[in-house]
């Protein structure tokens, strides 16, 4: 039994928001791409998210079969994610009002994303007598076990809230086998209710430059650099993401400073783009990374650029010599797959789902820990061995092709079907009452 219509919940960040700004990131991309692919296999998706402006329409068609519903809950602007739990009752009320305008069986299933949405999902699924499928995306206990210096621990209220969601969900979708193991270890999840579904990448968008396909990845890299005004022969280590301690862009800057200290001749041919905006605890000092670059004496080689659209992001990936992801925690690391799909190898911390996203020694390099010297050494290797870097670039494209959203949506639909099968008695009782 495949669901006809799914209520998808994303309380704290809208799928319409620009990734790399505020709380918008990989989860936004995940929800948008998954919803589109589910609609393509005839599963309608309605995404409920908190309205952040009075000017927003009640609903927006994101794509055929995908509707985004804006729910009024709390002040439109200036509400930090940490203050959202107080608005969950209002958000739930808004979701229920929408449901009340339809037949009782309008939604066949609830799929919630992140723990805040999970609490709304628990109530909605119980009221509608449908299964709840939940995707954690990040977990408080995992984040707290590997905090960056200066980062703020997740509160006990979140840990408690996540525990309740795990207990209530009919199915839990984990991005990787490691995340599934963390659900079992930290939250005592029922292994029978945990399914692993790797996220995908939009392979139509993220790919090597089609105009230079006959000449290979390297020709596309030169074309992208020309379009962005970047030097043709530079070493370009790229950071893409939200500027916050968790993502550790400071590790990249410190690594570049160490590299230039050891090899001052590289200063003439290195550019370090940082594409993204402050987020989370990074908002407390939004100019902190610029100040760090100045203190390290590398402001002349660091290029700070605000977040860009997904379409524009492809050129930044293509232009880079390597993407650097020194994150302290990543449930999967969609950015790593996107870069590889464009033909760019990755240097990443060996954390979370990154060992799945990156084939160590083939499509990139995984580093244990966050010592800038280790990342400096890896960057130095890329500068010294262009033939190895070129081989990794070609291998990265091949590796990324195994992560398509079509297969991710099909696997998710199988999880839905299993949840519906287990909950058929509930549906039957509801039909009898109606």
Is 247 annotated to bind a ligand? Reply is yes
Is 114 annotated to bind a ligand? Reply is yes
**Rounded Cα distance, 274 and 168, in Å:** 40
Is 330 annotated to bind a ligand? Reply is yes
**Rounded Cα distance, 172 and 350, in Å:** 24
Is 127 annotated to bind a ligand? Reply is no
Is 338 annotated to bind a ligand? Reply is yes
Q: What strand order describes the sheet that includes 346-349?
A: 302-305, 272-275, 237-240, 322-325, 346-349, 364-367
Is 242 annotated to bind a ligand? Reply is yes
* 330 CB-near residues (< 8 Å, 6+ apart): 349, 351, 352, 353, 354, 357
Is 302 annotated to bind a ligand? Reply is no
Is 131 annotated to bind a ligand? Reply is no
| Among 210, 212, 213, 260, residue whose Cα is nearest residue 235 | 260
Is 344 annotated to bind a ligand? Reply is yes
**Rounded Cα distance, 32 and 309, in Å:** 14
**Rounded Cα distance, 357 and 168, in Å:** 29
Is 174 annotated to bind a ligand? Reply is no
Is 158 annotated to bind a ligand? Reply is yes
Is 178 annotated to bind a ligand? Reply is no
Give whole-number Cα distances, 341 to 26, 320, 331, 334, in Å. 16, 13, 19, 11
Supply angle C-alpha 44, 50, 54, rounded to 5: 115
Is 28 annotated to bind a ligand? Reply is yes
Q: How many residues does the chain have?
A: 434
**Rounded Cα distance, 3 and 353, in Å:** 29
**Rounded Cα distance, 7 and 120, in Å:** 11
Q: Between β-strands 59-63 and 66-71, what pairing exists: parallel, antiparallel or unpaired?
A: antiparallel
Is 317 annotated to bind a ligand? Reply is yes
Is 396 annotated to bind a ligand? Reply is no
Alpha-carbon radius of gyration of the chain: 22
Is 222 annotated to bind a ligand? Reply is no
Is 141 annotated to bind a ligand? Reply is no
Contact 59, 20 (CB under 8 A): no
* Annotated binding-site residue numbers: 12, 18-19, 23-28, 81, 114, 138, 158, 242, 247, 308, 317-318, 320, 330, 338, 344
* Annotated binding-site residue numbers for UDP-N-acetyl-alpha-D-glucosamine: 18-19, 26, 242, 247, 308, 330, 338
* Annotated binding-site residue numbers for 1D-myo-inositol 3-phosphate: 12, 23-28, 81, 114, 138, 158
* Annotated binding-site residue numbers for Mg(2+): 317-318, 320, 344
């Amino acid at each position: 039994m495949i669901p006809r219509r799914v209520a998808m919940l994303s309380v704290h960040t809208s799928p319409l928001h620009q990734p790399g700004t505020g709380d918008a990131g990989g989860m936004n991309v995940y929800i948008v791409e998954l919803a589109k692919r589910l609609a393509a296999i005839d599963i309608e998706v309605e995404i409920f998210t908190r309205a952040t402006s009075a000017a927003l329409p009640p609903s927006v068609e994101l794509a055929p079969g995908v509707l985004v519903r804006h729910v009024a809950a709390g002040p439109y602007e200036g509400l930090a994610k940490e203050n959202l739990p107080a608005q969950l009752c209002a958000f739930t009320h808004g979701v229920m009002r929408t449901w009340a305008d339809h037949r009782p069986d309008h939604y066949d299933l609830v799929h919630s994303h992140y723990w805040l949405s999970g609490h709304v999902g628990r109530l909605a699924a119980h009221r509608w007598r449908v299964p709840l499928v939940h995707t954690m995306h990040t977990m408080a206990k995992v984040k707290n076990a590997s905090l960056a210096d200066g980062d703020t621990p997740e509160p006990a209220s979140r840990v408690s809230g996540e525990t309740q969601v795990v207990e209530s969900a009919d199915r839990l979708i984990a991005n990787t086998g490691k995340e599934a193991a963390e659900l079992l270890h930290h939250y005592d999840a029922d292994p029978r209710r945990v399914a692993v579904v790797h996220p995908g990448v939009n392979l139509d968008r993220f790919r090597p430059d089609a105009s230079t396909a006959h000449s290979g990845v390297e020709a596309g890299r030169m074309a992208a650099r020309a379009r962005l005004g970047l030097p043709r022969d530079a070493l370009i280590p790229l950071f893409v993401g939200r500027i916050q301690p968790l993502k550790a862009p400071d590790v990249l800057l410190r690594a570049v400073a160490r590299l230039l200290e050891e090899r001052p001749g590289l200063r003439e041919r290195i550019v370090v783009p940082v594409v993204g905006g402050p987020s989370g605890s990074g908002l407390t000092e939004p100019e902190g990374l610029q100040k760090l670059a100045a203190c390290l004496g590398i402001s002349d080689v660091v290029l700070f650029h605000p977040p860009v659209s997904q379409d524009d992001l492809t050129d930044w990936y293509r232009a880079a010599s390597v993407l650097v992801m020194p994150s302290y925690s990543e449930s999967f690391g969609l950015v790593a797959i996107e870069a590889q799909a464009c033909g760019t190898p990755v240097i990443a911390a060996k954390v979370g789902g990154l060992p799945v996203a990156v084939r160590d020694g083939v499509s990139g390099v995984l580093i244990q820990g966050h010592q800038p010297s280790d990342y400096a050494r890896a960057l130095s290797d890329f500068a010294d061995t262009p033939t190895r870097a070129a081989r990794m670039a070609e291998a990265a494209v091949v590796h990324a092709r195994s992560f398509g959203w079509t297969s991710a949506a099909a696997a998710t639909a199988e999880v839905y079907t299993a949840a519906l099968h287990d909950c058929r008695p509930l549906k039957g009782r509801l039909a009898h009452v109606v």
